[in-house]
Structure 1
Amino acid sequence: MKLGMLTACLPQLSLEQIAEWAAARGYEALEVAVWPGTGGRDFEAAHLSVAGFGQREADATRALFQQHGLELSALAYYENNLHPDPERREEIRTHLRHAIDAAAALDVPYVGTFIGRDWNRSVAQNLAEAERVIPPLVEYAGERGVKLLIENCVMEGWHPDGYPGNLAYSPELWEWMFSLDLYLNWDPSHLTWIGIDPVETIAPYAERIVHAQAKDVELRPRDRTRWGHFGPAVDRSGNPWDMGWWRYRVPGLGQVDWPHVVDRLYEAGFTGTLSVEHEDPVWGGDETRVKQGLDIAYRTLRPLLVG
């Protein structure tokens, strides 16, 4: 198991700058953000320009990772593949194919994305649509030796009422998406706040957990008594991602039992990358604090890994 980090938390830095810093801090792998860089959100960082990615770019990227002794664990483009706007959905599909092409050129085994959801339709209607939309993408990736990863993020901010906006948030839905030959980028933080014990989900689905996110979550149950699990209902005009009773934290500052998680991953035979996904508002806001948060995550997780 390698300890890595998702580069999206440092959108203002170049991949070269992140690689140099991460290697110096002891990180072993990078999960590289490859959004087009047009969305303006922190998690839409563009650390590789995958559109038109060719041999020259592939050689330069390989040389960079070799220089710093890092592994490129996956490319990250987490977008809504069931977006209700046909034009936006096609843009997403096109960019996802670019990401797959770049991964193939780099011999990177995984590209991460979301199932997503059309929030105007029921879950059943969305699943039927996904069974039409997703298989061609899986086939495109498979022909190039790449597997598509789906993160189990709830993406509640995509839904106008705070309901799940990514139909991959529970083991029930994992079983469905595995039937489409998708794999899981497993993240315990999302499971924790929706009431699922993350540790109990590892062994039954170990064969499909090929990459893992290391993100923590701080729960405030007393605040939940006002809104319930799905957050504010009367007024969601502010931050649609603020559910009012929980927030993401870097590993070690929330409720996730990391010693038990890592131990169970080892027991299940996991040999992939445990990739820190930094979305902690306390250790965020500027480059210095983000890096301090990544240092906290490293100090929490590194002693738990063998070697």
Structure 2
Amino acid sequence: MKLGVFTVLFSDKNLDEMLDHVASKGIEAVELGTGGFPGDAHCKVDELLADEQKQKEFMEKIESRGLIVSALSCHGNPLHPQKRIAEKADTLFDKTVELAGKLGIPVVNTFSGCPGDHEDAKYPNWPVAPWPTEFQEILKWQWEEKIIPYWKEKAACAEKHQVKIGLELHGGFSVHTPATLLRLREACGPAIGANLDPSHMWWQGIDPVESIKILGRENAIHHFHAKDTVIDQPNVNRNGITDMTSYDDMQNRAWYFRTVGFGHDAKVWADMISMLRLYGYDYVVSIEHEDGLMSIDEGFTKAVNTLQPVMVKESVGDMWWA
């Protein structure tokens, strides 16, 4: 396994500065944004697609520092009911898949998106309750008319470019749990998998170790994020887990993101790393820093220091004891 970082946190640095910085910390892989919510500070998709020499120079910069690219990420909402928003995300996704194929990058990460509740809707609708029954009707329409048809087409496109799709399980989007990921994968094929982020499991009440088992049995983990979460139970009692309190009002939120090791201790992270290996994941653990209590450098460094001792680097080989 390799320790990586989602480089959006270093968007103030140019590509060379960012690569030098993360390599100096012992990072082995970078996850690069191509636009959408992550921005494109380190990977200009249109420029690279238009020039094979730039593609070569781009990869040489990364590889010369002993790094790999674990994924290209273009998180957006390609199912947004407003066409201008959906089309922008859709076009970016297609370009990102094409670029990943040309550069030999095996994974493209994004969100599943979330549609509206009818053809003339203006805003996404995220049903999370089975009653009143209108919510079930909305959910059925979304999956049958929007979600499955869209991702079936995109899965075929990704397979053509020899790229896997890592959908981040994230609240507010149609694919947000192991069950919804597996539902889409069953309908669209094995190109669809998870970019599994334990921080989003914790706040939904899902044990990340168990989510690894559920998805790992189906070989459905394509990428893995490392981000932590604190659950503030008194605020959960007041607000519930679908808390709409602003992220910057951390004292009053039911949950909030922390850097690795500041929501759950190293043993919990060791359990997740071990479970990933048990179920055949031998790829990148990509640090994502969204901690409102620490600077970028402090949070990133502490995450590296927590994860490095628990990473599994070598396969066991023969079991000499049995």
Counterparts of residues 28-107 of structure 1 (less than 5 Å): 28-35=28-35, 43-52=38-47, 53=49, 54-107=51-104
Partners of 1:82 and 1:126 within 8 A in 2: no
> Deviation of residue 228 (structure 1)?
1.3
1:301 to 2:307 alignment: yes
Deviation string 1:177-234 (CA, Å, 9 cap, x unpaired) is 21212111111111111111110121232111121000100110111121112124xx
Q: Distance in 2 between matches of 1:240 and 1:294?
A: 19
Percentage of identical aligned residues: 27
Shift of 1:135: 1.7
Query: 1:81, CA displacement in angstroms?
Result: 1.8
In 2: Cα distance, 1:293 partner to 1:254 partner: 12
The CA deviation at 1:305 is 1.3
Matched, 1:244 2:253: yes
| Counterpart for residue 258 of structure 1 | 269
Q: Is the 8 A contact 2:223 2:283 kept in 1?
A: yes
Q: Secondary structure at the match of 2:76?
A: strand
Higher Cα Rg: structure 1 or 2? 2
How far the C-alpha of 1:144 sits from its partner, in A, is 1.1
Counterpart amino acid of residue 226 in structure 1: R
Query: What residue in structure 2 maps to residue 215 of structure 1?
Result: 227
Tell me if the contact between 1:51 and 1:95 (Cα under 8 Å) persists in the aligned partners: no
Q: Is residue 7 of structure 1 aligned with residue 23 of structure 2?
A: no
**Alpha-carbon distance, 1:240 to partner:** 9.6
**Equivalent position of 1:160 in the other structure:** none
Give the TM-score, by structure 1 length.
0.87
> Is 1:291 paired with 2:297?
yes
2-structure distance, mates of 1:35, 1:135: 23
Structure 1 partner of 2:280: 269
For 2:183 and 2:312, locate their aligned partners in 1 and report how far apart those are by CA, in whole Å. 33
1:127 pairs with one of 124, 140, 143: 143
* Letter matched to residue 186 of structure 1: L
Aligned: 1:194 with 2:204: yes
- Superposition CA RMSD, Å: 1.9
Relative to the length of structure 2, the TM-score reads 0.83
Distance across 2 between alignment mates of 1:17 and 1:124: 48
Does the 8 Å CA contact 1:10/1:45 hold for their aligned counterparts? no
Unmatched segments (≥5 aa) in structure 2 = 116-123, 127-137, 314-322
Name the counterpart of 1:280.
291
What stretches of structure 1 of length at least 5 have no aligned partner? Answer: 155-164, 284-288
The answer to whether the 8 A contact 2:164-2:222 is kept is no
Question: Which amino acid is 2:253 matched to?
Answer: G
